[in-house]
Amino acid sequence: MATGDGVLSDGTALHLTNASDALTKLVGLMSVNRPNLAIAKVENTDHDSGKVKSYIPGHGDVNELVAVIKYEPGSPTDLMLLEHLASREKRPFQLDEVEEDGTIQESEGILFLLSYVPDNAPLGAIRTATITAQPSILAPAD
């Protein structure tokens, strides 16, 4: 594959920390974004601006992590997510992404769960659940 052709995401994994402080792979991951830093813009226009607004960089914010998994009520993954959400704790997590050459890039950070919402049980379809979390900035894993 030539550089820049794109990457198949097969093999991407998300690991959350369970109640015993062990990183545990979420089973049935269907999609997950890579949260990145976003910089706010702060307007600093003054009377000498020539009627054109000007800006400076403001505070940074890390976008929410959003993942969709296959939902199995009562499964170990379901129970771990419910426990983590109820704990309201910030815990370590790891995101594994596939690079263009097929190697895995591991990133780690801290997050707390904001929501874990199963779908509305559509007739004749796979059950899914959406996980939303607030992460820290990702760093390469050791």
In the prediction, which pLDDT does 1 show? Answer: 47
CA distance 43 to 68: 36
Average pLDDT, 10 consecutive residues per value, the chain (142 residues): 62 94 95 95 95 96 97 96 97 94 92 97 94 96 82
Output the 3-class SS for 65-113. EEEEEECCCCCHHHHHHHHHHHHCCCEEEEEEEECCCCCEEEEEEEEEE
Return the pLDDT at 101.
Answer: 84
In a domain, 100, yes or no: yes
Per the structure block, which two tokens stand in for 116? 């874990």
Q: What is the gyration radius of the CA atoms in the chain, in angstroms?
A: 19
Q: What is the pLDDT of residue 10?
A: 83
> What CATH number has the domain bearing residue 110?
4.10.410
Question: Running DSSP on this structure, what letter comes out for residue 125?
Answer: S
Number of separate domains in the chain: 1
Q: Is there a domain that residue 7 lies in? A: no
User: Could you tell me the residue range of the domain that residue 25 belongs to?
Assistant: 13-140
